[in-house]
Amino acid sequence: MTRSMFRYVEWRLITVPPSPEVQAVCSSCNARSVAVDWEDRGDAEEWALEHTGHNPSHQSYRGVATSVWKVLPADGTVEDVEPPVEPESVLDGVCGALTYLPDEMVASHQYVTGRDLSNLVVLCTRDPAHDPLDGHCGTVLDHGTHYWP
């Protein structure tokens, strides 16, 4: 991993697009609704109700909101910065497979830091066309990359 240091420049963080997208994810089988804008989350909620209708024992869901952040110079200069490409979906271009962290990793992290990551969901950021046999990977907060089958 290469690290770069930017000196004498103040930076600001913006959200692209301004509204996050949300998905309903079944806690029983990890099936998920399509990603929709936060304002239109009724479609995701309706999907969850229909999913329970087809699977009566699946009654617990997670609402997973995803937004894209971008760092720009605070003074507004955008030298050598290309305008953001507006994707159709925040999740376009990523696999989207979800997982929880393994229990032993959660226990070890909690023992060392005191922080409980048991409810943390990791999103696979690999290309959607990747071979699932190669496994999935996603970023775990500031603790590096988590790989899973």
Provide the whole-model pTM.
0.42
Contact residues for 60 (Cβ-Cβ < 8 A; gap 6+): 26, 27, 28
Q: What is the dihedral of CA 121, 65, 34, 91, to 10 degrees?
A: -80
Phi, psi of 137 (to 5 degrees): -150, 150
Three-point CA angle 14, 18, 22, nearest 5°: 120
Q: Which long-range contacts (CB under 8 A, 24 or more apart) does 50-55 make?
A: 51/24, 51/26, 55/26, 55/28, 55/29
User: pLDDT by residue for the chain (149 residues), tens digit each?
Assistant: 566 665 567 788 877 766 678 889 998 898 888 888 878 888 889 999 999 999 999 999 988 888 878 888 887 665 554 555 555 665 667 777 888 888 888 888 788 888 888 888 888 888 877 777 778 787 776 667 777 67
Tokens describing residue 58: 């699946």
Q: Output the pLDDT for position 53.
A: 94
Q: Output the pLDDT for position 52.
A: 94
Q: Output the pLDDT for position 59.
A: 93
Q: Output the pLDDT for position 81.
A: 47
Burial class (CB in 10 A: 0-12, 13-18, 19+), 138: buried
Which residue is listed with tokens 């605070």? Answer: 74
Q: Which long-range contacts (CB under 8 A, 24 or more apart) does 38-45 make?
A: 38/65
